[in-house]
């Protein structure tokens, strides 16, 4: 993975904050930092720490993966994992049959 895109992270924090009509002052108060630090995160002048990112997300009632955007690659769901495990146990001919069926769907 390359470096995180902190500009995008700051932009998303600001978008969520403004969409929810929250001020930087509010966010600073509930996360126990000063207003300039929130501003600097939103404008990519400083990198947000993981601890503060979680606090900010909790304060705005948003998930960390939304803020991280393209930075976070979600693992497969439990359903997908079970499906892959089931397919893996099939012999080659049944895998080919299943592939043909899946393409029709």
Residue 23: CB atoms within 10 Å: 12
State the burial class of residue 44 (Cβ atoms within 10 Å of its Cβ: 0-12, 13-18, 19+): middle
Q: What is the mean pLDDT of residues 5-27?
A: 96
Where exactly are the structural domains of the chain?
Answer: 6-71, 75-105
Contact 42, 13 (CB under 8 A): yes
**Residue 100 pLDDT > 70:** yes
Would you state the structure tokens that stand for residue 100, as one six-digit string?
A: 């043909």
Q: ∠ CA 31-59-36 to the nearest 5 degrees?
A: 40
User: Can you tell me whether residue 19 is helix, strand or coil?
Assistant: helix
Work out the average pLDDT over 12-25: 96
Tokens of 5: 């895109």
pLDDT > 70? residue 1: no
20-42 pLDDT, tens digit per residue, is: 999 999 999 999 999 999 999 99
Predicted local distance difference test score (pLDDT) of residue 74: 59
- Enter the CATH code of domain 6-71: 1.10.260.40
pLDDT (tens digit per residue) in 32-89: 999 999 999 999 999 999 999 999 999 999 989 889 876 656 566 777 778 888 888 8
Overall pTM surpassing 0.75 (yes/no): no
């Amino acid at each position: 993975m390359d470096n995180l895109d902190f500009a995008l992270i700051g932009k998303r924090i600001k978008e969520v904050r403004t969409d929810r009509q929250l001020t930087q002052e509010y966010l600073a108060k509930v996360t126990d930092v000063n207003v300039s630090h929130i501003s600097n995160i939103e404008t990519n002048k400083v990198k947000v720490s993981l601890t503060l990112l979680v606090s900010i997300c909790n304060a705005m009632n948003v998930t960390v993966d939304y803020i991280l955007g393209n930075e976070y690659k979600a693992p497969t769901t439990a359903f997908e994992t079970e499906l892959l495990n089931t397919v893996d146990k099939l012999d080659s001919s049944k895998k080919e049959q299943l592939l043909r069926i899946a393409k029709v769907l």
